[in-house]
């Protein structure tokens, strides 16, 4: 009675998870957070139109969602000026990154990303036996030149860049990202993770032909659209690549309620513009709070602000722990030198002010402990 025989690959994988959820921390603490500003969720909430559509869809939840995501793909194609055949909808960008890794990564295959880049991408790469090759950030930004230089050497299956970046909030002009594409080695695929791009300055969206076979762009309803809990992401790419997802994806994996919410959110451009303004204001306020405490907020093209705590990772981790103890959920980059920062998501005024109230004490306790 020894149970199943796992694959050799599975036996080598660790049991770690990419992120611990705030609910887990709340259960450990025995009380809820006063401010939920750690997961780059959009606490201003989804469009009322999306809420109404999801509430209406709840009564229809006995129906499976349309496995083709037809209406949502049609609306997204219209939005992006491409064909529905260029779009695959999935269970968040996380789900789509998993599917993409499964399509191209066999054990030993090389992947290029940044040291400190999105951990869940790394989780999926490793989960299929891929080998991560990392380049450092250039300052606080992912480094297209370094990524391309390493890619030219090792011709990886995948090259990953997020623009804007998470966890630092920096961004490159979309033209810089588009200029990477002709330099992608033959047989490599560039992933451009644009999870936060709706919140970035005009011109950050990479002007890339949807049918270009060298690149796939990832988008989500989790950030600007405030629908993280509905689990709707999508990818834009060449039709043959998009069709390949059908070989393996969970065809009935999408929530019908999520489909309805995303479709409604997409039509509410007024709400999206409102979100951009609220988030911009919140970004500025978080920056001001940082400066009032003698810290340096990094420029952000996202719905979060990385705050340089001015010392090393150990100090930032101490500040984070103090904030957590004070009921403030924030996160921080995992590796040096990025880990001199804490990362604070934009959110409603009451939660941001709870952070403001907790920060001075957290800093002084962290300093006293050093």
Strand partners, 331: 343
Instruction: Please identify, using beta-carbon distances, which residue of 145 and 246 lies nearer to a copy of itself.
Output: 246
**Per-residue binding letters, 277-316, with a copy of itself (x by CB under 8 A):** ----------------------------------------
Rounded to an integer, what distance in angstroms lies between the CA atom of residue 339 and that of residue 57?
42
3-state secondary structure of 38: coil
3-state secondary structure of 163: coil
**Per-residue binding letters, 68-97, with a copy of itself (x by CB under 8 A):** x-x--------------------xx-xx--
Angle, alpha carbons 97-98-102 (nearest 5°): 115
Instruction: Please identify, using beta-carbon distances, which residue of 100 and 135 lies nearer to a copy of itself.
Output: 100
User: Which residues within the stretch 96-115 sit at the binding site for a copy of itself (CB under 8 A)?
Assistant: 98, 102-106, 109
Structure tokens at 292: 């009032």
CB of 183 to a copy of itself, least distance (A): 12
What CA–CA distances, in Å, run from 345 to 18, 74, 242, 298, 315?
Answer: 18, 32, 32, 13, 20
Instruction: Give the full edge-to-edge strand order of the sheet including 341-345.
Output: 296-297, 304-308, 341-345
Selected binder of a copy of itself within 173, 253, 299, 327 (CB under 8 A): 253
Interface with a copy of itself: number of residues (CB under 8 A): 93
**Per-residue binding letters, 127-146, with a copy of itself (x by CB under 8 A):** x-------------------
Selected binder of a copy of itself within 37, 180, 254, 356 (CB under 8 A): 254
Selected binder of a copy of itself within 201, 213, 360, 361 (CB under 8 A): 213
What CA–CA distances, in Å, run from 129 to 21, 85, 89, 132, 186?
Answer: 25, 29, 25, 9, 22
Residue 81, classified by CB atoms within 10 Å of its CB into exposed (0-12), middle (13-18) or buried (19+), is: exposed
User: Could you tell me if 162 and 140 are in contact, meaning their C-beta atoms sit under 8 angstroms apart?
Assistant: no
Instruction: Please identify, using beta-carbon distances, which residue of 24 and 270 lies nearer to a copy of itself.
Output: 24
CB of 61 to a copy of itself, least distance (A): 4
The residue with tokens 């719905």 is 303
Stretch that binds a copy of itself, among 6-14, 137-145, 192-200, 349-357 (CB under 8 A): 6-14
CB of 27 to a copy of itself, least distance (A): 7
Selected binder of a copy of itself within 28, 30, 31, 59 (CB under 8 A): 59
* 274 near a copy of itself (CB under 8 A): no
* 62 near a copy of itself (CB under 8 A): yes
Selected binder of a copy of itself within 122, 166, 222, 324 (CB under 8 A): 222
Rounded to an integer, what distance in angstroms lies between the CA atom of residue 34 and that of residue 311?
26
Selected binder of a copy of itself within 147, 192, 206, 244 (CB under 8 A): 244
* 14 near a copy of itself (CB under 8 A): yes
Those residues whose C-beta lies under 8 Å from the C-beta of residue 237, and which sit 6 or more positions away, are: 86, 88, 210, 213, 215, 216, 217
Structure tokens at 104: 């191209």
Selected binder of a copy of itself within 132, 228, 272, 357 (CB under 8 A): 228
* 15 near a copy of itself (CB under 8 A): yes
Closest CA to 159 of 149, 168, 167, 169: 149
* DSSP-derived pairing of the beta strands 87-90 and 296-297: unpaired
* 2 near a copy of itself (CB under 8 A): yes
Instruction: Please identify, using beta-carbon distances, which residue of 251 and 291 lies nearer to a copy of itself.
Output: 251
Selected binder of a copy of itself within 33, 41, 304, 328 (CB under 8 A): 41
CB of 119 to a copy of itself, least distance (A): 11
Structure tokens at 321: 């722990």
């Amino acid at each position: 009675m020894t149970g199943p025989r796992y694959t050799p690959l599975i036996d080598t994988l660790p049991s770690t998870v990419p992120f611990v959820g705030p609910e887990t921390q709340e259960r450990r603490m025995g009380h809820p957070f006063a401010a939920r500003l750690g997961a780059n969720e959009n606490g201003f909430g989804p469009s009322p139109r999306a809420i109404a559509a999801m509430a209406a869809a709840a009564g229809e939840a006995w129906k499976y969602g349309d496995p083709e995501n037809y209406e949502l793909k049609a609306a997204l194609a219209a939005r992006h000026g491409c064909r529905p055949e260029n779009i695959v909808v999935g269970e968040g960008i996380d789900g789509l990154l998993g599917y993409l890794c499964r399509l191209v990564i066999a054990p030993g295959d090389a992947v290029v990303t940044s040291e400190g880049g999105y951990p869940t991408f790394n989780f999926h790469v490793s989960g299929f036996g891929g080998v991560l090759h990392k380049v450092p950030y250039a300052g606080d930004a992912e480094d297209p030149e370094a990524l391309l230089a390493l890619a030219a050497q090792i011709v990886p299956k995948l090259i990953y860049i997020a623009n804007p970046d998470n966890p630092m909030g920096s961004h490159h002009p979309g033209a810089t990202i588009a200029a990477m594409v002709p330099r992608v080695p033959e047989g490599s695929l560039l992933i451009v993770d644009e999870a936060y791009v709706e919140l970035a300055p005009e011109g950050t969206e990479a002007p890339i032909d949807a049918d270009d076979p060298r690149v796939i762009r990832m988008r989500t309803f989790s950030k600007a659209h405030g629908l993280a809990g509905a689990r709707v992401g999508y990818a834009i790419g060449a039709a043959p690549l998009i069709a390949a997802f059908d070989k393996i994806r969970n065809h009935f994996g999408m929530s019908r309620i999520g489909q309805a919410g995303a479709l409604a959110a997409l039509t509410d451009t007024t709400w999206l513009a409102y979100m951009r303004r609220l988030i911009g204001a919140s970004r500025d306020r978080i920056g001001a709070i940082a400066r009032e405490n003698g810290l340096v907020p990094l420029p952000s093209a996202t719905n979060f602000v990385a705050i340089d705590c001015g010392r090393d990772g150990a100090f930032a981790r101490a500040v984070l722990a103090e904030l957590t103890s004070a009921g403030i959920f924030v996160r921080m980059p995992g590796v040096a030198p990025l880990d001199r920062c804490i990362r604070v998501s934009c959110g409603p005024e009451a939660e941001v002010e709870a952070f403001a109230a907790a920060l001075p004490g957290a800093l002084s306790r962290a300093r006293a402990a050093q």
